[in-house]
Amino acid sequence: MSENEIIEYVKNHPSGRVKIAVADIDGVLRGKYISTEKFMSIINNSFGFCNVIFGWDMADVAYDNTNYTGWHSGYPDANTQIDLNTFRKIPWENDVPFFLGEMIEGSENHVCPRQLLKRIENQAKEMGYKPLVSQEFEWFNFEETPQSAADKNFQSLKPLTPGMFGYSILRSSQRNDFFSAIFDNLKAFDVPIEGLHTETGPGVYEAAIQYGPTLEAADRAILFKTAIKEIAYKHGIMATFMAKINEDLPGCGGHVHQSIWDAEGKNNLFFDANDLNNMSPLMKSFVAGQLLCLPEILPLIAPTINSYKRLVEGAWAPTTLTWGVDNRTVALRALTGGNKSCRLETRVVGADTNPYLAIAACLSAGLYGIKHNLELKQPATIGNGYTDESNGRLSKNLIDATHKMKESKIANELLGESFVNHFAQTREWEWREFSKKVTDWELKRYFEII
């Protein structure tokens, strides 16, 4: 739809309201409904949105260690702008109009995840490239409501379906109402998915979102996560994108697929039919850049305490800094079968990520390799990537990864000092919040015997 058509749709929608949202640092969409009249007054101007969304954690507890905003600043409004290109109709809300926004100008753009990704996408454009990106997600589904889950203290929840049924035709037909609603509603919501199937684990689904330009791909990914939860509510289901729901079950990935094309988007610059693995020198530099940079920006793709419970051996998630051709045990999986499909899959990324930050991490690291013409000296891993420690291992917890990022010259170069400082402070807060809690494991382990 053209801009005029979008505005006419908003004006004529019988609800008289518009839903808007901005992504916070954790990838949680924070938003509200506004009247049609209010929307019309801000579409060509910025408006105020409380900057507390970058000053508290996902549980709405205010940080006490950040510089960007806090009690010291009084939590003022930040200049925020609606992006008309994000227009969508919410099919499960009577097609009410919806838009994403972002915080702009001044210091706000130092911490806004969408602004960060836009800057990195612009860097690629300035280099003459058009990145195409997509993210895929695995997630668990439970026959619970927010109230019932809380009443059970999030223990012994009833999975949507029992058993380990990856790629199951049977299980996808068992709750086909929900399965079909996902496909149909997401298509109507302009978050097209290429595939949807059950994954191994009770009540686990996996979906691959259709690839697209960088910012559009990230918008689709962040809307996908919220849309899945809202559609699930309609069916008496709770969906979770935690990286690891149970120590005995596989974790949930949020793998990022990326390729670099020419400025017109006509030629995939990753593909080279004359290379043994069909990888161009540019793709090899991109891979080398990620191998070098990812350990220093790991919190962007493993952002929570729980993220590191997924990154363990033998659980379909990488632990080592490795790459390989169509190898699911390595950190970076090169898929080079054809000119159109040649791409890199970054498998470190979990489902619990903020898509803007996960994609920013992958793209900025790869572009770093291209800018510096890095050689891919590390050989491809053949076989079990968990045993290949020739290039090192990933950090094993959030605080170690955060300290490495905070002190990294590369991280500051890629993301900017203001963003790195703020994001590191939020991860240090997350670690503090976790460290003071007494867990069930500790009670079971120490209560009687110690």
| DSSP string covering 218-275 | HHHHHHHHHHHHHHHHHTT-EEE--S-S-TTS---B--EEEEEEETTS-SBTTB-TTS
Residue 132's pLDDT is 98
Residue 199's pLDDT is 95
Residue 314's pLDDT is 84
Structural tokens at position 160: 């949507």
- Is 120-415 in the same CATH topology as 3-111? no
Q: State how far the Cα of 361 lies from the Cα of 366, in Å rounded to an integer.
A: 9
DSSP-assigned beta bridge partners for residue 31: 21
Residue 110's pLDDT is 84
Architecture of the domain whose range is 120-415: 2-Layer Sandwich (3.30)
Cβ atoms of residues 178 and 239 within 8 Å: no
Q: State how far the Cα of 11 lies from the Cα of 37, in Å rounded to an integer.
A: 8
pLDDT, averaged per 10 consecutive residues of the chain (450 residues), comes to 96 98 98 97 92 96 95 94 97 98 75 96 98 98 97 96 93 92 97 96 97 98 98 98 95 98 97 97 98 98 98 92 97 96 98 98 98 97 95 96 98 96 98 96 95
List the end-to-end C-alpha distance of the chain, in Å, as a whole number: 67
Q: Quick one: DSSP state of residue 319? A: -
Cβ atoms of residues 155 and 289 within 8 Å: no
The H or E element spanning position 99 is strand 96-103
Structural tokens at position 440: 């069930």
The H or E element spanning position 205 is strand 204-209
Residue 107's pLDDT is 53
Cβ atoms of residues 214 and 117 within 8 Å: yes
- Domain ranges for the chain, please list them: 3-111, 120-415
Is beta strand 332-335 parallel, antiparallel or unpaired with respect to 323-325?
parallel
Residue 48's pLDDT is 93
Secondary structure of residue 203 in the 3-state scheme: coil
Cβ atoms of residues 260 and 118 within 8 Å: no
Secondary structure of residue 194 in the 3-state scheme: strand
Cβ atoms of residues 116 and 415 within 8 Å: yes
Structural tokens at position 184: 């149909």
Closest Cα to residue 137, out of 260, 248, 242, 232? 242
Sort 274 into a burial class: Cβ within 10 Å, 0-12 / 13-18 / 19+: exposed
Could you tell me the pTM of the whole model?
A: 0.97
Residue 343's pLDDT is 98
CA 348 to chain centre: 11
Classified by CATH at the fold level, domain 3-111 comes out as Ubiquitin-like (UB roll) (3.10.20)
Residue 105's pLDDT is 63
Secondary structure of residue 370 in the 3-state scheme: helix
Query: For the chain, how big is the Rg over CA atoms in Å?
Result: 22
Secondary structure of residue 195 in the 3-state scheme: strand
Tell me the HSE value of 25 on the side-chain side, using a 13 A CA sphere.
33
Residue 106's pLDDT is 64
Q: State how far the Cα of 92 lies from the Cα of 184, in Å rounded to an integer.
A: 11
Residue 247's pLDDT is 93
Sort 50 into a burial class: Cβ within 10 Å, 0-12 / 13-18 / 19+: middle
Sort 316 into a burial class: Cβ within 10 Å, 0-12 / 13-18 / 19+: middle
